[in-house]
Every structure is written in structure tokens, then in C-alpha cells.
Structure 1
Amino acid sequence: MPYAQGRTFYDADSHLMELSEWLPKYADPGIRERIRPLYLGGAGAKAAELIAQAKARAADRGATVKLEENVMTAKGWLALGAFDPAERSRALDLIGVDRQLVFPTFAFSQFLGGDAELLWGGTRALNRAIADFCSVDRRLIAVGSVPWGERTCAEAEAALDARCGAILVNSMPGAKSPTHPDFHPLWAMLQERGIPFMLHIGGGGRALRRAFNQNGLKPTTDWLGGGENVRSKDYMAIHQTPEQFLACMVLDGIFEKFPKLRGGVIEQGALYLPALLRRLDICQQSFRKTEPALNLPLKASDYLRRQVKFTPFPNEPVGWIIENSGPEMLLFSTDYPHPEGTKDPIGRFEATMGQVNEQAKERFYSRNFAEMMGDAA
């Protein structure tokens, strides 16, 4: 019997757990030898041991059957289908989700940096790799990624041609705003092809200034040991860079110019959403006399309501967020196999949704995802 049952579930956030040898296989010959080893952050010290355990379990049918009996329990590399695509397909059966977006975890560490050739070559390799991982099962949707720069549009097109079903962009800009005319071809292409953009935790760098951790206290460890290494003060700032990104997309008229462009804000919470909607409208009203571009046909908040969806954290009051922002904006997610998603995300969400009607629940668990994905779903 699957973990999720009784309705249709579309999962807006999951990950694969990379192995060191995975990414180089997909790189062009001139780049392959330059791909760096995985940087595993807080998981580094135990990663080799965990990967060895996971490979041993995969070769042991009895151990695999035992894992399948409680698929949501194991996390990281130890989870079913963490890095094996055939196993991932089996995991979907047992979890009970009918669609699942798949993001990388650590692979960006193998090519990000100031070496432009490695950056763009690694980007193309990763998009090929994640598309291949997801090709085994139509329920899996590969999230390609592109950094900001001269080749953003070209690499996004290559990712779509490789069968990626969404494009992850950084919420922190490069030298130019994502709303600059140089990037209009990106938004136009995504709109035309019916492919959403994604923002994800980590894509804006550290929103918290490092000095705030120089506080004379004993250093803290990551909350759950997951891929994003979130601590208490990081949690308080996670939403700030996507807020800035989305505000600029609205106020600079991108959502007006590209009315069928859709996006998702993933694993950055949604508790701030009611305030963001109100703040956008106040901003538009307050500055429209001196900034004529703000004289848009719609209220600023209506662009987000129309075109962007958000995943709440399992510890956030989903019912309250729906009540104060509307039923059309939130997405269900498991964060599988990262521990941040918890062993029972449905139970966590349901605990705060006692007053949410069935239509709004249907939107949360599947319909909003389908709207976001459009033809890609």
C-alpha cells in the first residue's frame, strides 16, 4: 500500500543524490576531465560510508524489500531510488505520487565558479544527466538549470531539447537583472514551450550575512543534515532573495509582457506569502506616480496569483497561508529523499488544514502543480 493514497498527488520537490562518477559521463570531452569531485558540505565526512551502505543494500534483495515496506524512512543516499533511476521508479509506486519534479543536490559544486568554460560545460552536462535520470519514467520531470550570463538562453534551450521539463534559475542576479531585455528571449522561450521557471533554496546564495554567525556562541550544526545545510538564522532569511526576484519580475513588467509564463518557488517556504502579496500592492500604489512602469493593467499581487506557485515547509501552517493568500498558490512537496521533507509530510500538512475545504485541498495536492506545469505535465 503506497504512503500517499486517496487522491492524486503531484510532488513539486524531490532530489537525486549524486555519485562522484555520475556527472563526468555526461560532459563533453574537453570538459570531462575538469569536472571537480563532489563537495558534500556537512555530509562529506559520512558520505562515502553512506554510499557504500546504499550500494550494498541495493545488492541485497532482502534489505531492499525491508526498505520498501517503509519507503519514507530512509533519507539521503540510503533512500530507495536516491541515485538509481530504476529504483526511483519503484519508489514512486510506493510513495504514491503521480508526478515528481527532480532537482540535483550536490552536483553544482562540481563546476560553479569563475571558470566560464567549466561553468557552461558543467551546466550542459548536468542538464543531460538529470534528463537521462528522469527518462526511465514519465512521472519524473527533470529540472534543468542555467546560470545568468551570456549563454543563459542558449543553455536553457539545450536543456529543453534534452527533455528537461522545468528550468531552475538563480534568484540572485548576475551582472544584469533577470528582467533585463537580454533575458527576454528566455522568458519568451519558456512561455512559448509551456515550461515553468523554478527558484530553489541555494539559488540565491546565503541571504544571511556571515557576520551574524560571529556571535561568540558555540557553532551550530545543520538542522537535519540535508543538502541545503539550513540553520535557524538561515531559515529566517530564506525567503528574502526569492521575494526580491519576484518583486522585480512583477514591478519591471515581465509577467505582464509574458502573461503565460509560469514559475515555482521551491523549498523556500510560504509563510511570507500573504505579506508579500500585500507589500507588492502597497509598493505599486505608493510609487506609481514617480515610476510610470508600475501603472500595470493588474494589481501587482495578481500577477503572482496568476503565474507563480510556492511550496510551504512541512512545519508551516498551510491552512492559515491558504486562508490569507488564496487556494491557487500552494504546492505539495515531499523533498524526497532529503530529511527536511520529514518522514510524513502529508501528516504535517494535514495537521494544519482542518478548516480547508476539499476543493482547496485538491488544488494543493495536484491541481496547482498541473497549472504550473501546463503542457509539461
Structure 2
Amino acid sequence: MPYAEGRIFNDADSHIMETRDWLISHADADIREKLRPLAIGSGGRMVDKAIAHANDRVSDPAAVADAEKNLMLRKGWEALGAFDPNERRRALDLLGFSSQLVFTTFAITHFWGEFDQVRSTPEVLYGGARAHNRAIADFCRGDKRLLAVGFVPLDIPELAEKEIDEAVRLGCAAIHIPSLPPAKKSPTHPDFNGVWARLQDADVPFLLHVGGGGRAIPRAFHNNDRPVTDFLGGGENIRSKDFMAIHMMPEIFLSTMVLDGIFEQFPRLRGGCIEQGAMWIVPWLRRLDISQATFVKSEKYLSLPLKASDYVRRNLRFTPYPHEPVGWIVEQAGPELCMFSSDYPHIEGGRNPLKRFELSTPNLSEVARERFYATNYADMMGSRAA
């Protein structure tokens, strides 16, 4: 009996747990030596042991049966299908999801981010992105339920356009774009019109995801002389104060997209905000409309045919955390915005995310529940839905 049954469940957030050479093995030969080592933080203390243990079960039916029995308890590299595509297909059978977006976990640290405070060269940045997209497309190939999420930074518009085209050709069903703005230009600058046009024309949504917005808060706020661990057992993963600010960069990114008229200019462009919560969208919708009405006299481009919040409802979707009051969010913000996600096999997703979502949505109508579990995801994915 699968974990989820009785209706269609589309999972808007899942991951693979990369091995150390997973992305590098897909990189062009002239890029491989220039990529940074995989940055896995505290997970490094357990990754090699977990990978070895997971590899051993390939030839051990009893170990496979144990992994299947503990499907929602084993997390990270120990999870069924964490990095083996054949196991992942079996895991999806047991999960019971009709479709599942698949992101990487640490792979972009090879070539993107604030990890050494130095931006990668264009060659490494886009060569790394190309290797990432090859690798994730390969992982998902062979099962139409697994939808690969590519990654394309916007730093150089013409190179971003090229890698979007290549990612789509490889079979990526969505593109993760950093919410950290590229260099000194807004993502709404006309230089990026080719990016949004390509995504619209390919019927491929852009996705913002936790980790793509840079550091949530300055390091100093964590220097409080108090002991702390995180989900991985160290101190560099998401913590309480990070959680308080995790939505801020995507909120600014999406506000800019709405207020600068990108969704008016590209009406079929769709996007999703993944693993960054959804409680914040309730007041955000009101603030968007207030901002539009207040500043339209001095910023003439705010005179759009629709209210700002209407573009959000038409073009964007969001994944609440399972510990958020999802029923309240849907009641306040409307049924067309939120999507189910499992975060499999990350520990942050919890041992029973479906139960937690069910407990927080007892008063929702069947139509609203269907939208949450299936339809809003299908709307976001368009023709790319499984």
C-alpha cells in the first residue's frame, strides 16, 4: 500500500542526494578541474558511510526490504532512491505520487554561491550549470513521473538564454533561477527579456528555491554565544533565525517581477516559490496592491491592466511548510496558490508531511483540497506536467 493514496498527489519538491563526483562526471572535460569540491557542510561526516551503506543494499534483498519498510524514516543518503535512479522509481511507487519535481541538494555549490566569496568565471558558472542539467536530466530519464529541475543563473543574459535552451532540450521540465539578483541589474531589466520569453515559449516554469537567495541573514545574528545545531547536526544549515527571513529574497524577487510588469509582458510565464514557506504570502498580497496604488503616480509603469495580486494568482504558485497552518493560508490567500510538497528525502520534510498537511486543512472544501494536492501543481507545470 503506497504512502499516499485516494487521490492524485503531485509533489512540488523533492531532491536527490548527490555523491561527490555526480555533477563532475557530467561536466565537459575542460571544466572538471575548475569546479569546486562539493560543499556538503555537516553532512560530510556521514555522507561516505551512508552512500556505502546504500550501495551495499543493491545486493541484499533484506536491506532493500528494510529500506522500503522505513521509506519515510530513512533520510538523506540513506533513503531509498536518494541517489540511485532505479531505486528512486521504486520509491516513487511506494510514495504513491503521480508526479514529482526533482531538485539537487548541494550540487550548485560546485560552481555557484557565496561559498568562497568570489564569483565563478562565466566559463565555470555556465559550464557547471550545463553539467548540473545533464546530471539531473539523466537521473529523471526513463520515468515520466520524475520531472527534472534544471538550474540557470542569470548573471550573463545571453549565456543564460543558451543554457535554458539546452536544459529544455535535455528534458528539464522546470528551471531553478536564483532569487539573488544577478550582478547589478534587476531580473526585470530589458536585458533579461530573452530569458522570460524563452521560458514562456517553451512552456517551462521558473522556480525559486531555498538556497538560491544567498545568505538569509548576516552571520553576526548567529554569533550569540549559545550552542546550536541544525537539521544536519552542524551549524550552517537552516536555523530558527534563518527561518524568520527565508522568504525575504524570493518575496523581493517576485514583487519586482509583478510590479515591473513582467507577467503583463509575458502573460504565459509561470513560476513557483519552493521550500520557502507560504504564511508570508497572506500579507504580501495586500502589500503588493498597496504599493501599486500608492506609487503609481511617480512610477507610471505600475499602471497595469490588473491589480498586482491578480498577477500572483494567475502566474505564481507556492509550497507551504508542513508545520505552517495551511488551511488558514488557503482561506486567507485563496485556493489557487498553494501546492503539496514532500521534500523527500530531506529530513526537513518530516516523517509524515501528508499527515501534518491533513491536520491543518480539515475545513477546506474538496475543491480546495484537490487544488492543493494536484491541480495547482498541474497549472504551474502546464504541458510539462506528467
TM-score scaled to structure 2, two decimals? 0.95
1:284–1:294 CA contact under 8 A, matched in 2: yes
CA offsets, 1:149-179, max 9 Å, x none? 2211111111111110000001110121110
1:114 lines up with 2:120 in the alignment: yes
2:43–2:232 CA contact under 8 A, matched in 1: no
Structure 1 residues 6 and 228, CA gap change in structure 2 (3 angstroms): farther
Alignment of 1:273-292 (within 5 A): 273-292=281-300
1:9–1:366 CA contact under 8 A, matched in 2: yes
Which residue number corresponds to residue 83 of structure 1?
A: 83
Deviation of 1:226 after TM superposition, in Å, equals 9.8
Which residue number corresponds to residue 356 of structure 2?
A: 348
Which residue number corresponds to residue 129 of structure 1?
A: 135
CA distance in structure 2 between the partners assigned to 1:316 and 1:139 by the alignment: 27
CA distance in structure 1 between the partners assigned to 2:154 and 2:217 by the alignment: 22
Structure 1 residues 362 and 224, CA gap change in structure 2 (3 angstroms): farther
CA offsets, 1:86-110, max 9 Å, x none? 1100100000001000001111111
CA distance in structure 2 between the partners assigned to 1:284 and 1:355 by the alignment: 33
2:205–2:270 CA contact under 8 A, matched in 1: yes
What's the secondary structure of 1:312's corresponding residue?
coil
State the one-letter code of the partner of 1:163. G
1:226–1:340 CA contact under 8 A, matched in 2: no
1:31 lines up with 2:40 in the alignment: no
1:105–1:227 CA contact under 8 A, matched in 2: no
Which residue number corresponds to residue 115 of structure 2?
A: none
The unaligned stretches of length 5 or more in structure 2 are 113-118
1:10–1:98 CA contact under 8 A, matched in 2: yes
Alignment of 1:215-364 (within 5 A): 215=224, 217-223=225-231, 225=233, 229-364=237-372
Deviates more, 1:111-120 or 1:320-329: 111-120
CA distance in structure 2 between the partners assigned to 1:301 and 1:20 by the alignment: 43
CA distance in structure 2 between the partners assigned to 1:258 and 1:225 by the alignment: 43
Deviation of 1:302 after TM superposition, in Å, equals 0.5
Deviates more, 1:308-317 or 1:183-192: 183-192
Which residue number corresponds to residue 145 of structure 1?
A: 151
1:20 lines up with 2:20 in the alignment: yes
What's the secondary structure of 1:97's corresponding residue?
coil
2:38–2:107 CA contact under 8 A, matched in 1: yes
CA distance in structure 2 between the partners assigned to 1:118 and 1:318 by the alignment: 40
Which residue number corresponds to residue 211 of structure 2?
A: 202
State the one-letter code of the partner of 2:195. L
Which one of 184, 192, 197 corresponds to residue 201 of structure 2? 192
CA distance in structure 2 between the partners assigned to 1:121 and 1:224 by the alignment: 29
Which one of 186, 194, 206 corresponds to residue 177 of structure 1? 186
CA distance in structure 2 between the partners assigned to 1:348 and 1:171 by the alignment: 28
Structure 1 residues 332 and 226, CA gap change in structure 2 (3 angstroms): farther
1:213 lines up with 2:222 in the alignment: yes
Deviation of 1:209 after TM superposition, in Å, equals 1.5
What's the secondary structure of 2:287's corresponding residue?
helix
State the one-letter code of the partner of 1:311. T
What's the secondary structure of 1:13's corresponding residue?
strand
Structure 1 residues 203 and 310, CA gap change in structure 2 (3 angstroms): same
Which residue number corresponds to residue 164 of structure 1?
A: 172
2:12–2:377 CA contact under 8 A, matched in 1: yes
State the one-letter code of the partner of 2:216. A
1:40–1:106 CA contact under 8 A, matched in 2: yes
CA distance in structure 2 between the partners assigned to 1:228 and 1:331 by the alignment: 28
CA distance in structure 1 between the partners assigned to 2:63 and 2:31 by the alignment: 38
1:3 lines up with 2:9 in the alignment: no
Structure 1 residues 306 and 228, CA gap change in structure 2 (3 angstroms): farther
Which residue number corresponds to residue 58 of structure 2?
A: 58
What's the secondary structure of 2:49's corresponding residue?
helix
1:8–1:365 CA contact under 8 A, matched in 2: yes
Deviation of 1:228 after TM superposition, in Å, equals 8.1
CA distance in structure 2 between the partners assigned to 1:58 and 1:341 by the alignment: 25
1:42 lines up with 2:50 in the alignment: no
CA offsets, 1:301-352, max 9 Å, x none? 0100100000000100000000000000000000000011111111000111
CA root-mean-square deviation: 1.4
In percent, how many aligned pairs have the same letter? 57
What's the secondary structure of 1:167's corresponding residue?
strand
Which residue number corresponds to residue 93 of structure 1?
A: 93
CA distance in structure 2 between the partners assigned to 1:72 and 1:80 by the alignment: 9
Structure 1 residues 25 and 224, CA gap change in structure 2 (3 angstroms): closer
Deviation of 1:224 after TM superposition, in Å, equals 5.3
CA distance in structure 2 between the partners assigned to 1:195 and 1:115 by the alignment: 27
Which residue number corresponds to residue 116 of structure 2?
A: none
